[in-house]
Structure 1
């Protein structure tokens, strides 16, 4: 079953692309892309349910389907489906009917490359897949062909490609480290590296991981390698921004986590974990500073992505059952929440004809339904209860407060409060300050632009109130496969014991 689901996952967007190339009609392209997204989402659900703990391998072990990769694919499939629904309303407002079929070809190809990356069992091929996401998404970032979007596309591909080059060097060094115990040539897979890790030189491993962390961290948007992210997220069409933030960043983070597992197998915990935590905290600091003084609505969402990828990095750096579970749960909640936020930002931009928050006023008055959904998403994205991000952030904080990450957990908690105040202050201005009496009335939005906002918000509320037991078990499997230093945070494991009260115990 899992093999068939994996084939369907890849075949659905691939077949849609082929048909769109043969019959490049806008309406048909919309339908084909939405159909492919729906099928891919169904296949991703099957993969998450059926993925074995140690992974299923196909095509001479070049393809692996394991719980970590399956989870990243599910997050991407959710965003792809929501963004495809939203695109039917949003893209028609751009007056780009002649190029609309080309957009959906690239959009489906972008989703295909994101799906492919977590399936790659060879680290070198994984690097190629991540680089392919860069090439494809560059054309989507610059799709509107405005000077700003073209500049953002160039900046994106240059900075990310430079970072990915460092990741390639780190991959080569990992391979070289393995030759000392496996011989001059061997089939490089994630399992092979983990098997050989105890026999590798520790200094070489740490250097290799640092290069990989900086390289793929550039793609993730961790500070200070994040400089491409605000421009790319703000200048691309809103559906593309949602895919960049909610799907692509997770796929790059998965590579860092897989390399982290290699160092853990070599009994290296302190250095790589602390590196992840430091980059995560730095990302939170940078995000807080720029969120407070931000003026562009989509750039505000972009710096929020820097914040939340930093939180995910901190979670994996803390490790243990709570740290890993919180980080993975945060991936899902962030994918849902950031899709909602970019959809709302897209509606505001198209309605008011501006990206400047100073010119968006009385949004809730003009658009009661989408305004209420967007405001609820803004509250959720700051980590406020009762939404899913609150549950995942509290879980990560508990992992830090219970172990050696106390300083990072304290800094994270303080910065989350600062971001909460700064982020919602912008929404206070956009919703409750008086509009310019001479400003033209805003344009109406399509129902296609509102439905996916509902579909994103409702699960966020459910996941904030109820953490499915099956997800907790899957997260424990991933934590075991990563080999996180559970002993480093003994109180976190104790806090998760069945004897603790439910409100303190968290997910069970």
Structure 2
């Protein structure tokens, strides 16, 4: 049963990519990709419901464990929601209509590479899977072929590949440390390394972990290695941005978490965890600075992703069953919530014809449904009650206070308050301000009056445009409702699943 589900999870998007590439018809690509996403989601949820203990397949190359299954659930949810949204959104790109079969082939291939990563049991093959996600998603980031999109794609592949090269060096050092204990030839599985770790050189494993942290941290968007993320999220189509933020970042963070368990088993030193917490705190600090001063819609969402990856890093650094439960809960809520935010940004951006926050006014009045959903998502993404991210962040703070890195809880609390104020201030302007800033009007036209007239004309055109269709609003509802429910009710079944994750990760507490 488990093997059949794994085959369905991987084969569905792979076949969709092949069919879309061979049958170059837009509607075929749309619906084949949507069916593949639905099959992938159902199979992943079935796998999570029936998972009881770790299983290995294909001579140990494939591993099905609790944390891997949880990452698959987050990925499959985002893939399905983004596939629904893409049908409505991509049809608006009239200039790219002839290339839509290519888009859906790449989109499904991107999903296929992401679901492979959490299943890889060999640390070298896991690195290959992560690198494949980069190669495929680069073409999606630059899909619209504008100058800024192409620049963002180049920046993405160069920065991330440089980081992944460091992760490869760290992987080699982990293998070397293991070879000094096991012998020159052995299976490079997570379990083999963890079993041999107590006899491995602590200094060598710590050095290897730091390289892996910087390498995979680059892919996960941790500061200061995050520089690719705002451009890539801003220039890619909205469904791609949702996949990058809600699914890809989790897949990279998974590698950091698994290598941390090996390092923990090799040495009782708190250095690796403290460094991980430090990267998380610095990511929150950078995100707060840029969120407060941000002027682009999707760049605002991108820096929010930097923030939440920092929260995940701090949670893994805190360690302990409670912190791990909070991390996994946060991972799910962020995946759903950030998908909602990019969908809303895509809707508003297309209707107003701009990415600039200063040029968007009266969102709620002109687009009631999209406006209400997007505003609720904005409140939720800042960690405000009664949504799921509040519950996960509060639980993480409780866990952090019981660790040697309790100082980070104060940093987390202060920066979350700053981000809450800065993020929602932008939405206050877009929803309730009635005119564009004078400085913006002057920069658009030497006359502030002319600039205001141009804004009024653009707003009128937006009002006359077609409202977002069902394809563009349904996934927003499907993302928001679970985030609200998970903020009011933490299912007991999830607690048991999180305990299984803590068990699979080995020594979870410092």
**TM-score above 0.5:** yes
Q: Is the 8 A contact 2:65 2:504 kept in 1?
A: no
Q: Is the 8 A contact 1:315 1:324 kept in 2?
A: yes
Pair 1:152-2:155 in alignment = no
Match of 1:62 in 2: 61
Q: Is the 8 A contact 1:2 1:46 kept in 2?
A: no
Deviations 1:159-198 (A, max 9, x none): 0000000000000000000011111111110000001101
Match of 2:166 in 1: 166
Normalising by structure 2, report the TM-score.
0.94
Match of 1:500 in 2: none
Aligned partners of 1:115 and 1:204: how far apart in 2? 31
Range that drifts further, 259-268 or 367-376 = 259-268
Secondary structure at the aligned position of 1:438 is classed as helix
Pair 1:76-2:75 in alignment = yes
Pair 1:255-2:278 in alignment = no
Match of 1:441 in 2: 461
Deviations 1:409-464 (A, max 9, x none): 00100000000000000000000011443334213322211000000000000100
Q: Is the 8 A contact 2:201 2:266 kept in 1?
A: no
Aligned partners of 1:477 and 1:45: how far apart in 2? 16
Query: Following superposition of structure 1 onto structure 2, how do residues 90-489 of structure 1 map, counting pairs within 5 Å?
Result: 90-95=89-94, 96-435=96-435, 436-439=455-458, 440-442=460-462, 443-444=465-466, 445-486=468-509, 488=510
CA deviation after TM superposition for structure 1 residue 479, in Å: 1.6
Range that drifts further, 416-425 or 439-448 = 439-448
Deviations 1:390-420 (A, max 9, x none): 0100111101122322210001000000000
Q: Is the 8 A contact 1:261 1:481 kept in 2?
A: no
> Which 5+ residue runs of structure 1 have no aligned equivalent?
489-508
> Which 5+ residue runs of structure 2 have no aligned equivalent?
436-454
Q: Is the 8 A contact 2:502 2:508 kept in 1?
A: no
Q: Is the 8 A contact 1:246 1:334 kept in 2?
A: yes
Q: Is the 8 A contact 1:315 1:323 kept in 2?
A: yes
Aligned partners of 1:268 and 1:243: how far apart in 2? 37
Deviations 1:76-118 (A, max 9, x none): 0000000000001100111111000000000000000000001
Q: Is the 8 A contact 1:319 1:479 kept in 2?
A: no
The alpha-carbon distance between structure 1 residues 73 and 485, as it changes in their structure 2 partners (threshold 3 A), is closer
CA deviation after TM superposition for structure 1 residue 482, in Å: 2.1
Aligned partners of 2:321 and 2:431: how far apart in 1? 40
Q: Is the 8 A contact 2:19 2:105 kept in 1?
A: no
Range that drifts further, 261-270 or 95-104 = 261-270
Deviations 1:269-304 (A, max 9, x none): 511111110000000000000000000000000000
Secondary structure at the aligned position of 1:87 is classed as helix
Q: Is the 8 A contact 1:149 1:236 kept in 2?
A: yes
CA deviation after TM superposition for structure 1 residue 22, in Å: 2.4
CA deviation after TM superposition for structure 1 residue 475, in Å: 1.0
Aligned partners of 1:210 and 1:64: how far apart in 2? 24
Q: Is the 8 A contact 2:261 2:508 kept in 1?
A: no
Aligned partners of 1:321 and 1:405: how far apart in 2? 16
CA deviation after TM superposition for structure 1 residue 484, in Å: 4.0
CA deviation after TM superposition for structure 1 residue 58, in Å: 0.6
Aligned partners of 1:482 and 1:14: how far apart in 2? 29
Aligned partners of 2:128 and 2:52: how far apart in 1? 25
Aligned partners of 2:277 and 2:40: how far apart in 1? 33
Normalising by structure 1, report the TM-score.
0.94
CA deviation after TM superposition for structure 1 residue 485, in Å: 4.9
Q: Is the 8 A contact 2:322 2:396 kept in 1?
A: yes
